[in-house]
Chain A
Amino acid sequence: MKQIALYGKGGIGKSTTSANLSAALSDMGHDIMQIGCDPKHDSTRMLMRGHWIPTVLDTMRERGDKEIVPEDIIFEGYNGIRCVEAGGPEPGVGCAGRGIIATFQLLERLNALKGDIIVYDVLGDVVCGGFAMPMREGYAQEVYLVTSGDFMALYAANNICKAIHRLAARPKNKCHLGGVICNSANVEGEEALVRAFAEKIGSELTAFIPRSPIVRAAEVNKRTVIEYAPDSDQASVYRALAERISKETKTTIPTPMTMDELEALSLEYLPV
């Protein structure tokens, strides 16, 4: 079983990328499970044709975790993809990071973590130990950083590199960096910038996903691009990403950049 996780700055397009990646992997014949690890619980919505599925934590809160069965929290979406949303507390209260830990513990207990590939879609910055848990406990074995050419997106991606680098010192570490995915923000020269960033941290650019109006159109129609416009160029990009990730065997322990290096790199690729 391959377990991959998409990490990156909030709003960068992790959920869109994850859902389209899962859909494309599924179309290739893989048995896929996608787990949204973000309190805003919208990771699987497009796979569920716009349906907001009950989150694991809401279900736990309402019924207690003893009575829960897999059918309560795992829902079948596009092409049989099993969709799970961890969810989280209301904004401003509690500890969402602990919620992630509780979700994984429950899924383990239910023996629900199975399939050919599990795709974890994890909240942007690794804000606390709870959100690093999928990496730390061996769930997120191949991490893909989703970023654009925006400086803060690279900054967040670099922070995640720091977490992977730190975890690598642990004897039982299973977390490695699979690559960097550039989800374009239509910034001039960003593919070259993100490629250079990937190389600087000791990895490589896995895919460049151009900005396309098809993505928005698909979302408005509550579908992934793979389902809404399977013949589009954008769908081909997602399929190419899926093809590459499904065969990816080369992973690395990244070397995070210093703040000065990151600033210098961004300056170097700043359009004149």
Chain B
Amino acid sequence: MGALAVTAFVRDAVTLIHGPSGCAHLNATLFQTTLMHQDRFALPEILSSSMSEQDVIFGGEDALRTSLDEAVALGPDAVFVVPTCVSETIGDDVETICSEYSCNGDLPVVMVRAGGFLGGTFHDGFVAALEAAAVFAGGATGASEPARQRDYPVITIVGEKNLESEVEENYDEISRLLGLLGLTVSLRYVRDITVGEMSLLSESDLLIIRDDPDGRIEELCSSFSAAPVISGFPEGLKGSFAFLQSVAGCLGLDAGDALAAETDYQAAIIASFDDLKGLSIAFDSFGFQNATDMLFAELEEYFGITLAASGTPIPVPFTTPVGSTGLRLMLREWRRFL
């Protein structure tokens, strides 16, 4: 599922799950329900090699080839092949077959190493798919192309969590903050982009990672770009200031005006939640898995909201709100409970 959360968001690629049809069905169903929360009703192109018992007994490589032929016939610009527990257990040589197809035609066929039964988590599959797709950093053929001269910095967002409900709100917040510095996002790696667009990866001047709990995505970035990396979206008010300063520092810009504008923006947010001052809240054990003490300190410092066991129990978001706007959206939700 983690791998699909990347490959299924390459618009002109097809993802082929090499395994029983149930594996693809389960994932497609999860995609459907998750994406409906984002008001997206078109399902990504996910195919299955529909391995049968005979394929398990005699090897599933023929089934994979047949399905690859079908995938190629759809006319995509790339095919991602994601093996499953079954095909990995019986030892199908998926990598060689992908190489054969890539060598025999112009269409790149890329294997994503994501055998869930090997103990991998969603995040492992997610990183594996980012690694696999990085083959396109030098262009669809894999050959490096000379960087073009541009009069603007190429800013790439890496590893957006395509299945989180707030993915677009978070992107909007990053765009807003970058906009304060006169910058725009050039590439979202990987969200609704094409295979061709991924060639821009190696030309990035700044890479902004959505979340990198173990540093593996930053390590991956260093494999295709020497550009500086910001290894997480900003959290809360102070995080937004720090983000602006980091971006400006990386690109040699003056952040003065941007910081002033953000100060005004945050002041308006703080004022809009005056009615919450003096209230206390209590969290259940679920949510805020990556929340920092800084965020709770901000709630108290700027909004006068304290944590207390006797406080109002409130539903909490799964991840820490991104930027000042994320905090505002969260507090609006809380207001209904407080």
Indicate whether A95 reaches chain B with its CB closer than 8 angstroms.
yes
Indicate whether A193 reaches chain B with its CB closer than 8 angstroms.
no
In the bound complex, residues from chain B placing their C-beta under 8 Å from that of A172 are none
Most chain B beta carbons < 10 A, residue from A61, A94, A98: A94
In the bound complex, residues from chain B placing their C-beta under 8 Å from that of A61 are 54, 57-58
Q: Map CB proximity to A onto B60-88 as digits: 1 under 8 Å, 0 otherwise.
A: 11000000000000000000000000000
Q: Is the CB of A94 within 8 A of B53?
A: no
Indicate whether B196 reaches chain A with its CB closer than 8 angstroms.
no
Residues 38-71 of B contacting A (Cβ, < 8 Å): 53-61
Selected contact of B90 from candidates A60, A90, A94, A102, CB within 8 Å:
A94
Q: How far is the CB of B86 from the nearest CB of chain A, in Å?
A: 9
Q: Is the CB of A102 within 8 A of B53?
A: yes
Q: Which residue of B is nearest A128, CB measured?
A: B89
Q: Is the CB of A93 within 8 A of B56?
A: no
Indicate whether A88 reaches chain B with its CB closer than 8 angstroms.
yes
Indicate whether B182 reaches chain A with its CB closer than 8 angstroms.
no
Question: Complex: how many Å from CA A99 to CA B89?
Answer: 14
Q: Is the CB of A89 within 8 A of B58?
A: yes
Selected contact of A57 from candidates B58, B60, B90, B91, CB within 8 Å:
B58
> How many residues on B have C-beta within 8 angstroms of the other chain's C-beta atoms?
13
In the bound complex, residues from chain B placing their C-beta under 8 Å from that of A89 are 57-59
In the bound complex, residues from chain A placing their C-beta under 8 Å from that of B61 are 93
Question: Complex: how many Å from CA A146 to CA B92?
Answer: 33
Indicate whether A132 reaches chain B with its CB closer than 8 angstroms.
no
Selected contact of B53 from candidates A90, A92, A96, A98, CB within 8 Å:
A98
Selected contact of A93 from candidates B54, B58, B89, CB within 8 Å:
B58
In the bound complex, residues from chain A placing their C-beta under 8 Å from that of B56 are 94-95, 98
Q: How far is the CB of A106 from the nearest CB of chain B, in Å?
A: 11
Q: Is the CB of B59 within 8 A of A93?
A: yes
Most chain A beta carbons < 10 A, residue from B56, B57, B58, B59: B57
In the bound complex, residues from chain A placing their C-beta under 8 Å from that of B58 are 57, 61, 89-90, 93-94, 99
Question: Complex: how many Å from CA A57 to CA B57?
Answer: 8
In the bound complex, residues from chain B placing their C-beta under 8 Å from that of A98 are 53, 56-57, 90
Q: Is the CB of B57 within 8 A of A88?
A: yes
Selected contact of A96 from candidates B54, B57, B89, CB within 8 Å:
B57
Most chain A beta carbons < 10 A, residue from B54, B56, B58, B89: B58
Interface residues of B (CB under 8 A from A): 53-61, 89-92
Could you jot down 13 A-B contacts, CB within 8 Å? A57-B58, A60-B54, A61-B54, A88-B57, A89-B58, A93-B92, A94-B55, A94-B57, A94-B59, A94-B90, A95-B90, A99-B57, A102-B54
